Amino acid sequence: VQQNDPDITLITPSAPVATATHGGRAKCLQRLVRLDLPVPVTVALSFNAVHRIAAGEMPDTQALLEPFGGSLLCVRPSSEDPDWGGPGAVLNIGMNDATYVDLADLLGQEAAATLYLRFVQSYAVHVARLDPDMFDEITLTGQEGLSEALRLYEEEAEEAFPQDPGVQLAAVLRSMARAWEGTTARLLRQAKGAPADAGLGLVVQRMALGLGKGEGESGSGVIQLVSSQTGLEQITGRYLSQSQGRDALEGEAALFLERDPRGPSLQELAPDAFANLIEYTKLMRVRLRAEMQAEFTIENGKVWLLDGVRVQRSAQAAVRIAVRLAEDGIIPREEALMRIDPRALNELLHRQVDPDAKRDVLARGIAASPGAAHGAIVFSSAEAQAYDARGEACILVRRETSPEDIRGMNAAAAVLTERGGMTSHAAVIGRGLGLPCVVGASEMRFQTRKKTLTAPDGRVFREGEVITIDGTKGEVLAGEPALLAATQDDAFQTLMSWADEVRDIKVRANADTPADAKTARNFAAEGIGLCRTEHMFFEADRLTVMREMIFADRPEDRRAALDQLLPMQRADFTELFRIMQGKPVCIRLLDPPLHEFLPHDRAGHRELAEALDLPLSDVTRRVEALGEYNPMLGMRGVRLGVTVPEIYDMQARAIFEATIEASKDGDPVVPEIMIPLVSAKREVEIVKTRIDAVAAAVHTETGVAFSFRLGVMVETPRAALRAGEIAPHCAFLSFGTNDLTQMTYGLSRDDAGRFMSAYVQQGVYPEDPFHTLDADGVGELLQIGATRGRAAQPDLVLSICGEHGGSPESIAFCRAAGFDYVSCSPFRVPVARLAAAQLAA
Ligand code: PEP
Ligand code: MG
């Protein structure tokens, strides 16, 4: 073909054809040709050729037609990535009055007329861009219908239907090239991740007819050797006799491929062709190193391959396919690891809305915690607990959640909030519990008093009505679409074990409760990197004691309350240590402002006054006195430890006593104690002195030796900058990137949701920095903290425990900065293990 045009290439084993210049289909066809598989004669037009055609520079079509020796042709798109789409294929180019006569001899007049008619229609609509409705009035079939179509074409196009195959081909090429450059197509593919200048290649191929009379079977279809759902071996696909193009995929009348009691199969109709197909597809798997779907046509008993694409796959199937390819020695294990998008594992870890289910989307919000659940709407935690007690699923709907809602969240199947962002309370707790969660769904009206939820389209949902939360997509759906269960099958376990073999950064979990710790251990977390102890005080009985402690005016009253809390905390820690079986457990001393533990409304104040036997006015006054204008920047974290040191003393004692207790009959425990929200070296000195004193006291009282490690959370920019003087006082630094992001940007983690989407849309921030670590700014602080800390204390253990800890980008950042481990919500541990493995593979 056109020897002088490097952009137009007859596909042969050695022709210069590449995915980056000719697209995936052209390259795949060349691979099939190299494997000696039956591929109809094909000519590939490069991206450049198509570009030139769109600009009006048509190649010599007569030369282009030469290799095909007068057969009918088809033109198919060949984009770099099949997901980017492309114009639909045009089949049967070359049909005209003369070929019609020849075909009528071969196929019979009726079939030939149908073929010609279909070509006229598709040419009219896709190439001449005539109104698709213009053929609606044709009721006749066969030759009469055809004549009618040709007449209508001439009337609308104001010229006769083109008879010259070269003219037809040129028009098809031009129309496909222009369609690709149109705005709609460009926007569509950009939404799928294609670059703005993505190219389109085209392949011109001899048409394998799929129609025929006599000698053997004719038809077309697709075949693959595994299930797209599970990845298990299973011959699937569709086939339709006497068909071409997408007929078999679109029609209802497809046959079964394999022998099947429910009806006739290709295997029975054409056993040889069927056996060939299986053999070809197996060969493609081995030699193309991927599970492939073959698109084929059978022409008088002979199989032709028209294309091969990687099989569509669920995450579960993707894992099994990759593992089987590695087990069969087709790809190395490292490559199997690379083939799975770590985030896709979420599909295996949580229930999902069945992709085939009908979705009635009521509203969108932030996808804060993956998974899906349905349940009755409830507007309070008390209601959620009532549903849970009756064994009924419910969705907790709140403007935002606060620590008081934890029990409600535990009782709910999913959570929906009006406000908040990726690190707001509901999001953090939701991810910790593995609870599907959509936050910041502010396009809905939350009338929590009236107990209604109104969708933007005006539909009103009342308490008790069932909705579905899709936390993976961040959508609220009406009704109960079918859900797919989470499945961590043997292939998943195998893949994870391979990941652990290559990974060189450790993965721990953020876990506050025994349930979290068990999940963490099941997902093979290498310890707990953050236990937020405040989450241990929201049980009803503890909350009262906690409140007594907060209300105590005199030291002896405070001591009495702390004495009651001590055994509870000791039991908490003992259980965590036992569950983690000697793996490190890092406990953070109490962090939130005290007033978070106090009731917020009048009824709550009255209840508390009764419980504490105090006048209501005293309670109200004290609550007001503890209130802060800016609690996030107020009396929290180590500031609490410095001003009310008895709390940290109690926690340290509980940790040490639990260490002794759990080490008695189990693996030895070396607890880690972490001080939150540090900004000055002196804070660390003060707390360290007291903790050392508690350790000495416990040692003297019990006579048992134990050790522990003290660390500091880097959550303020100042702590990062002054890491050099903080590090000598501690064994580890753990970067709390939630607060660090909040303070670096001066951006409230609880309020940013309101304008975050506007900021991201306008490109102010490339992404929500609470979701994706801001490598430039917050990252620079991490880098400074790590470098200065290590310079002062070379053995310093470095880690990240903010919500970013589970995201592949942050793991890459932390690994490059020499961190020892990342810590993330238990359900993100597998994602982190795989992401870490991909960095090392
Ligand atoms: C952090 O700030 O990153 C952190 C881990 O602590 P919390 O989210 O509890 O404030
Ligand atoms: Mg914090």
| pLDDT (tens digit per residue) in 694-720 | 999 999 999 999 999 999 999 999 999
Is 423's pLDDT higher than 90?
A: no
Could you tell me if 19 and 72 lie in one domain?
yes
Ligand 2 (ion): which residues have CB within 5 A?
715, 736, 739
Grade residue 673 by pLDDT with cuts at 50, 70 and 90.
very high
Grade residue 594 by pLDDT with cuts at 50, 70 and 90.
confident
Lowest mean pLDDT among 421-425, 476-480, 670-674: 421-425
Is 2's pLDDT higher than 60?
A: no
Grade residue 781 by pLDDT with cuts at 50, 70 and 90.
very high
Give the SS3 label for residue 564: helix
| pLDDT (tens digit per residue) in 344-373 | 998 899 998 988 899 999 999 999 999 999
Cα dist. 166→65, 72, 170, 395 in Å? 7, 11, 6, 63
Using the 3D structure, point to which of 293, 313, 333 is the last residue of a domain. 313
Ligand 1 centroid to 431 CA: how many Å?
14
Report if pTM > 0.90. no
Could you tell me if 100 and 223 lie in one domain?
no
Could you tell me if 726 and 657 lie in one domain?
yes
Contacts of 747 (CB under 8 A, 6+ apart): 741, 769
Grade residue 439 by pLDDT with cuts at 50, 70 and 90.
very high
The CA distance from 29 to 39, in Å, is 7
CATH number at residue 462: 3.50.30.10
Asked if 630 and 545 count as a contact pair (C-beta separation under 8 A), the reply is: no
Ligand 2 centroid to 578 CA: how many Å?
26
Which pLDDT score is estimated for 251? 66
Range of the domain at 247: 219-313
Catalytic residue among 22, 126, 350, 425: 425
The answer to whether residue 801 is catalytic is yes
Which pLDDT score is estimated for 712? 98
Could you tell me if 167 and 195 lie in one domain?
yes
Nearest atom within ligand 1 for CA of residue 803? 3
Cα dist. 840→93, 327, 836 in Å? 51, 20, 7
Grade residue 1 by pLDDT with cuts at 50, 70 and 90.
low
Which pLDDT score is estimated for 253? 63
Catalytic residue among 531, 730, 801, 814: 801
Using the 3D structure, point to which of 263, 291, 313 is the last residue of a domain. 313
Could you tell me if 439 and 294 lie in one domain?
no
276 marked among binding-site residues = no
Which residue's CA is the closest to the ligand 1 atom numbered 6? 736
Nearest atom within ligand 1 for CA of residue 735? 3
The answer to whether residue 74 is catalytic is no
Asked if 100 and 119 count as a contact pair (C-beta separation under 8 A), the reply is: no
Grade residue 728 by pLDDT with cuts at 50, 70 and 90.
very high
Q: Is residue 331 part of a domain?
A: no
Q: Is residue 326 part of a domain?
A: no
Work out how many domains the chain is built from and give that number: 4
Give the CA angle between residues 51, 52, 58 to the nearest 5°. Answer: 130
Lowest mean pLDDT among 76-80, 428-432, 454-458: 428-432
Which pLDDT score is estimated for 820? 98
Q: Is residue 399 part of a domain?
A: yes
| pLDDT (tens digit per residue) in 285-324 | 999 999 999 999 999 999 999 999 999 998 999 999 999 9
Grade residue 16 by pLDDT with cuts at 50, 70 and 90.
very high
Which residue's CA is the closest to the ligand 1 atom numbered 1? 736
What is the average pLDDT score of the chain?
92
Asked if 202 and 75 count as a contact pair (C-beta separation under 8 A), the reply is: yes
The CA distance from 690 to 697, in Å, is 11
Give the pairing of strands 585-588 and 528-532. Answer: parallel
CATH number at residue 703: 3.20.20.60
Which two three-digit tokens encode residue 768?
Answer: 């929500």
472 marked among binding-site residues = no
Nearest atom within ligand 1 for CA of residue 715? 2
Q: Is residue 496 part of a domain?
A: no
What percentage of the chain exceeds 90 in pLDDT?
72
Could you tell me if 167 and 37 lie in one domain?
yes
CATH number at residue 193: 3.30.1490.20
Q: Is residue 3 part of a domain?
A: no
Ligand 1 centroid to 823 CA: how many Å?
11
Could you tell me if 48 and 158 lie in one domain?
yes
738 marked among binding-site residues = yes
Pocket test for ligand 1, best of 715, 735, 750, 803 (most atoms within 8 A of CB): 715
What percentage of the chain exceeds 70 in pLDDT?
99
The CA distance from 33 to 42, in Å, is 10
Is 108's pLDDT higher than 90?
A: no
Q: Which residue has the higher pLDDT, 295 or 249?
A: 295
Tell me the mean pLDDT in the region 102-130.
91
List ligand 1's pocket residues with C-beta within 6 A. Answer: 530, 532, 591, 715, 736-739, 801-802
Using the 3D structure, point to which of 206, 231, 254 is the last residue of a domain. 206
Ligand 1 centroid to 806 CA: how many Å?
14
Which pLDDT score is estimated for 252? 63
User: In this structure, which amino acid lies at residue 140?
Assistant: L
Which residue's CA is the closest to the ligand 1 atom numbered 8? 738
| pLDDT (tens digit per residue) in 389-399 | 888 999 999 99
Nearest-ligand number for the alpha carbon of 800: 1
Place of tokens 């007329």: 113
Specify the length of the chain in residues: 841
Could you tell me if 431 and 577 lie in one domain?
no
Could you tell me if 41 and 89 lie in one domain?
yes
Tell me the mean pLDDT in the region 639-660.
96
Q: Is residue 341 part of a domain?
A: no
Which pLDDT score is estimated for 533? 94
The CA distance from 227 to 215, in Å, is 33
Could you tell me if 478 and 575 lie in one domain?
no
Q: Is residue 171 part of a domain?
A: yes
CATH number at residue 229: 3.30.470.20
Give the pairing of strands 90-93 and 73-79. Answer: antiparallel
Tell me the mean pLDDT in the region 170-190.
91
Could you tell me if 238 and 297 lie in one domain?
yes
Q: Is residue 397 part of a domain?
A: yes
Nearest-ligand number for the alpha carbon of 423: 1
Could you tell me which residues are beta bridge partners of residue 205? 42, 74
Which pLDDT score is estimated for 693? 98
| pLDDT (tens digit per residue) in 252-273 | 667 778 887 777 889 988 999 9
Is 466's pLDDT higher than 80?
A: yes
Which residue's CA is the closest to the ligand 1 atom numbered 3? 736
Which pLDDT score is estimated for 783? 98
Task: Say yes or no: ipTM exceeds 0.95.
Answer: yes
Nearest-ligand number for the alpha carbon of 734: 1
44-83 CB burial, b ≥16 within 10 A, e <16 = bbbbbbbbbbbeeebbebebbbeebeebbbbbbbbbbebe
Is 98's pLDDT higher than 80?
A: yes
Grade residue 459 by pLDDT with cuts at 50, 70 and 90.
very high
Could you tell me if 81 and 143 lie in one domain?
yes
